[in-house]
Amino acid sequence: MRERKLGELTVSALGLGCMSMSQSYGEARREESERALHRALDLGYTFLDTASLYGLGHNESLIGEVLSSRRDEYILASKCGIGSRDGKRVVDCRPESVKKTCEDSLRRLNTDVIDLYYLHRRDFNVPIEESIGALADLVDAGKIRYIGLSECSSTTIRKAHKEHPICAVQSEYSLWTRDPENKVLDCCAELGIGFVPFSPLGRAFLTGDIDDMAALSEDDMRQTMPRFIGEDFTHNLQLLEQLKPIAKDNSCTLAQLALAWVLARDENFVPIPGTKHVKYVEENAAAADLTISDADLSKAGEIFASNKVHGERYAKSHMISLDPED
């Protein structure tokens, strides 16, 4: 697979998001997850994304156990700052918590160093400078190589970057989620920070494989997301129908078209489509070599323009925890 620059790192054009191997999208079978991880490395994926939150440590342990003999083949990204307390999700980016989480992650991942370590979310109770200072200490100690931020505003990014250079920012970005176009992308470009779009396939909506929410398990996180509910979901499916002729004309799948659109936005974007299945690891990899005309990519982008997509990307209770632009 082709490579791209991500800040100071060099990684494959596509990374592999590993979250679904542990949570959020129905049952994950261990054997299939193991095959998917190995197949990704065989195909040239060199960038794996996990977090302490995913499966409350399960995801990191999975990677550490399955890929211990292949650690030199990939750049490892993980995250700290979100955990569970009394069964509830909490954001905790206090310096002592950041450092303890890193120690726990290193142990689970079976590694001496994490290549890219993100703050998973901004903690509004802790100055960002203090959290970044703790991460800088981990860099100095040789426990992490580079620092990243996830789902942060441009204001937070600038404050953090003054404290210590930020290597990459990760945010949801896809045909149907354009929020980072409001200041974050320009900020990253100005400061030389890499950008990692997560959910570049719209949590599988853009693959065309989801047309009946009743087919998903009750605990699937998409069951609570407005874009997947009621009239909003029906409307968004109609938009997706307009995308199908473009994919057909280019002899590619909807997923490959959606990934090609993200990849074409900037040569320094490294999307991390998530999957727990070998067939999707393979399908997604092929998107890195697609050549689609600017006209078709522009048409695809217009179909899913922000003002045409219905429904928020998270439930209201989750949206208020995000770091808004000023």
Domains of the chain, first to last? 3-203+266-291 (3.20.20.100)
The mean per-residue pLDDT over the stretch 205-219 comes to 91
Answer whether residue 23 shows pLDDT above 90. Answer: no
C-alpha–C-alpha distance, residues 184 and 201, integer Å:
20
The mean per-residue pLDDT over the stretch 197-225 comes to 93
What is the predicted pLDDT for the residue at 324?
85
* Tens digit of each residue's pLDDT (9 = 90 or more) over 84-139: 888 788 999 999 999 999 999 999 999 999 999 999 999 999 999 999 999 999 99
Considering the entire predicted model, what is its pTM?
0.95
Catalytic residue IDs = 54
Categorize the per-residue pLDDT at 184 as very low, low, confident or very high, splitting at 50, 70 and 90.
very high
Answer whether residue 231 shows pLDDT above 80. Answer: yes
What is the predicted pLDDT for the residue at 166?
98
User: Which residues neighbour 51 within 8 Å (Cβ) at sequence distance 6 or greater?
Assistant: 19, 59, 60, 78, 79, 80, 82, 118, 120
